[in-house]
Amino acid sequence: MTAERSAGASAVEATRDSDADTLLTVDSLRKSFGGIDALNGVSFEVSSGTITGLIGPNGAGKSTTFNVISGVLSPDSGTVTFVDEEITGLPSHQTAQRGLVRTFQLAREFKNMTVLENLMVAPEGQAGEAAWRAVFPGTRDDVRHQEEEIFERAWEMLEFFDIDHLALENAGSLSGGQRKLLELARALMLDPELLLLDEPFAGVNPSLEERLLERIGTLREQGHTFLLVEHDMDLIMEHCERVIVMHQGETLVTGTPEEIKSEERVVEAYLGGDVA
């Protein structure tokens, strides 16, 4: 039966699957901008090893939710818990270090760097970034060894996404779809456990969309978890185990695709009707 959320109340217990391993818990998030409530008590859970869709009409608060979870924004109240650790308000680089990484609707590649360089710059804490190592020659072998490992991993990502032929091209010359592939490959260089994908298929042609879906499916089989925002309802219903519906800054309903399809309030929210 589809779990429901009453105004101002937490949906965490209502949406919990006792047989699943909960990876992310979002509880009663609130965020206002200039007196306007962007988030008004958003609550949901994401189980490990799943692909979960986050949907809702324009202005429902999906991107703001992503920004709060990933540390781009701090909530006014509420909590975000990832792998049993509260990460509410932590900056993005710290959430990434813990294994939670997001991509953006508009790819943010370094346009004047090559595709390969874009991948190699992603991992944090690289030994070669420390200026003091240049003073101590004995540490240079460690730097070289780490750079070789990062190069090998970057090349594996290029091959995995079938963009190895673009390795030496400037990222700014890529097509929109190729930028999406690079964005996801760069996120994976951080070895995340949970990826938040913000409209990963927007502007992607059908062949690249199919390739992305295949890669996401493979990564899920390898143990990665995905929470994605997407406007293509058919895609969400076909590829997600769970779906979270937002409306006017609130969690309207969560459930399986089959449950969501039969939920009248979801239809009303998308068609602009009143939501009971």
Q: Rounded to the nearest 5 degrees, what angle is found at the Cα of 38, between the Cα atoms of 44 and 52?
A: 30
- Burial-class residue 97 by CB neighbours within 10 Å (0-12, 13-18, 19+): middle
> For 67-92, what is each residue's pLDDT tens digit?
999 999 999 999 999 999 999 999 99
At residue 69, the pLDDT reads 97
Mean pLDDT in the chain? 84
**Phi and psi of 170, rounded to 5°?**
-65, 135
Kindly report the pTM of this predicted structure.
Answer: 0.80
> For 58-67, what is each residue's pLDDT tens digit?
889 999 999 9
Sheet holding 77-82, edge to edge: 36-47, 22-33, 77-82, 85-86
More confident residue, 263 or 53: 53
pLDDT band for position 141 (cuts 50, 70, 90): low
The type of residue at 203 is G
The type of residue at 194 is L
The residue length of the chain stands at: 276
What domains does the chain contain, in order, with CATH numbers? 3-109+193-271 (3.40.50.300), 111-173 (no CATH)
Token pair recorded at residue 270 = 């998308």
Distance, in Å, from the CA atom of 227 to the CA atom of 211, rounded to the nearest integer, reads 18
